[in-house]
Structure 1
Amino acid sequence: MPQHVSDIMTSAPVTVEPQTSVTAVARIMRDQDLGAVLVTDGDELRGLVTDRDLVVRSLADGGDPEQITVAGACSDDLVTVAPEDDLDRAIALMREHAVRRLPVVDHGHAVGIVALGDLAMERDPESALGDISVARPNT
């Protein structure tokens, strides 16, 4: 049974720069079937943006999504884990901070994302959350 974040994380996360338009990020998410991408400035992790963030923090306020950048939509108060952290630590952080995804950072560089669904599949693949996590999108 995997015990470390590196055993279940999604490696090589998709990243975008802070000045990337909300429209461009939404297209990336659609085309790559992603619910979140990391926002980086060069090699420095600046934030995480989810599909929900795009709607609630950008589109709901109006404006042109081609002109609005992801910098204003991303969560920048990040909670992160390291690849060598154990899964129990990741679970505890998700509970404590009420987040569904954690960027995985190694020596200051984003190397992955671990999601609630990843943990559900690892700990209880027969659970409802495990089933939902592996189901094909209904788009």
Structure 2
Amino acid sequence: MKRIKDLMSDKVAYVSPETSVTEAAQLMQKHNVGVLPVCEGQNVVGIVTDRDIVVRNVAHQQDPSMTPVRNVMTTNVESVSPDTSLNQAAEIMAEKQVRRLPVMENNQLVGIVSLGDLATQAKYDVELAR
């Protein structure tokens, strides 16, 4: 059975709660990602997505260069371990209505997995079954 460690992205860019929304958006663009974990030291204290930036900052006409990520991030982030099954991760995403999950091991961020990663794997598995 495939596990999260088999398809997670293990090179994860992240920001601090004090990083400006502008800097976070630029980092997302640089790494071609739509999510950044928000970390204080080794601890993940939140997650900020491209949607969070649009809905919680841009739509309110706030200055992204003056707004810290902590004002737009989501807290109480659901996470998975590298040994979580793909089915379990998909169930968590469906239940919590999220598209990305940080991957944590020994309370440290070791990767991230997205709904797109799971969908690509499912498509591959279907093709193999044919």
TM-score under structure 1 length normalisation = 0.86
- Aligned partners of 1:57 and 1:110: how far apart in 2? 25
Q: Deviations over 1:35-63 (max 9, x none)?
A: 11110011100111111111101121222
Residue of structure 1 in register with 2:107 after alignment: 108
Write the mapping of 1:1-139 to structure 2, written as runs, cut at 5 A: 3-125=2-124
Q: Where does the alignment leave 5 or more consecutive residues of structure 1 unmatched?
A: 128-139
- Secondary structure, counterpart of 2:57 in structure 1: helix
Range with greater deviation from structure 2 (117-126 or 37-46): 117-126
Q: Deviations over 1:6-54 (max 9, x none)?
A: 1000102111000000000111111221111110011100111111111
Which residue identity lines up with residue 115 of structure 1 in the other structure? S
TM-score under structure 2 length normalisation = 0.91
- Aligned partners of 1:88 and 1:63: how far apart in 2? 39
CA RMSD of aligned residues (A): 1.5
- Aligned partners of 2:58 and 2:120: how far apart in 1? 32
- Aligned partners of 2:78 and 2:43: how far apart in 1? 14
How many Å apart are 1:126 and its aligned residue?
A: 9.1
- Give the 4+ runs in structure 1 shifted more than 3 A: none
Tell me the matched-pair count: 126
